Amino acid sequence: MAQRKGEEAAGYRREDDGVQPPYLYPDYVATRLRAPKKPLIILPRTLSDTTGPAYGRGAVGDLDDDLTRQHSGEPLGERIIVTGRVLDGDGRPVKSNLVEIWQANAAGRYTHHLDQHPAPLDPNFSGAGRCLTDAEGRYRFVTVKPGAYPWRNHDNAWRPAHIHFSLFGPAFRSRLITQMYFPGDPLLEHDPICQSVRDPKSRQRMISTFDLETTQPEWALGYRFDIVLEGRDATPMENHR
Amino acid sequence: MSSVPTPSQTIGPFFHDALLDKNYSELVSPDHPEGIRIKGTVYDGAGEVVPDAMVEIWQADTAGRYDHPTDDREDISLHEDFSGFGRSGTDAGGEFHFLTVKPGPVPGPDGKVQAPHVMVSVFARGLLKRLVTRIYFPDEEVANAVDPVLSSIEDPELRRTLVARDEGDALRFDIHLQGDGQTAFFEF
pLDDT of residue A14: 47
Rounded to an integer, what distance in angstroms lies between the CA atom of residue A212 and that of residue A200?
25
Q: What are the boundaries of each domain within chain B?
A: 16-176
Q: Give the ipTM of the model, two decimals please.
A: 0.96
pLDDT in tens, chain B (188 residues): 457 899 999 999 999 999 999 899 999 999 999 999 999 999 999 999 999 999 999 999 999 999 998 999 988 888 878 999 999 999 999 999 999 999 999 999 989 999 999 999 999 999 999 999 999 999 999 999 999 999 999 999 999 999 999 999 999 999 999 999 999 999 99
Contact of A196 with chain B, judged by CB distance below 8 Å, is answered with yes
Interface test with A, best of B1, B3, B147 (most A CBs within 10 A): B3
Positive/negative CA dihedral, B18, A60, B134, A192: negative
pLDDT of residue A26: 97
pLDDT of residue A58: 65
Closest by CA position to B15, among listed A151, A229, A104, A15: A104
pLDDT of residue A233: 57
Contact of B181 with chain A, judged by CB distance below 8 Å, is answered with no
| Inter-chain residue contact B187 with A40, CB threshold 8 Å | yes
Going from the first residue of chain A to its last (241 residues), give the mean pLDDT of each consecutive group of 10, the final group possibly shorter: 37 63 97 97 95 74 94 97 94 93 98 93 97 96 98 97 96 96 98 97 97 98 96 47 29
Residues of chain A found within 8 Å of residue B21, distances taken between Cβ atoms: 128
Question: What is the number of helices (H) and of strands (E) in chain B?
Answer: 3, 12
| Inter-chain residue contact A36 with B131, CB threshold 8 Å | yes
A196 and A164 in contact (C-beta within 8 Å)? no
- Nearest CB neighbour to A37, from listed B3, B70, B182: B182
The structural domains of chain A, ordered by start, are 5-239 (2.60.130.10)
Specify the amino acid at residue A30: A
Top-level class of domain B16-176: mainly beta
- Say whether A23 is catalytic: no
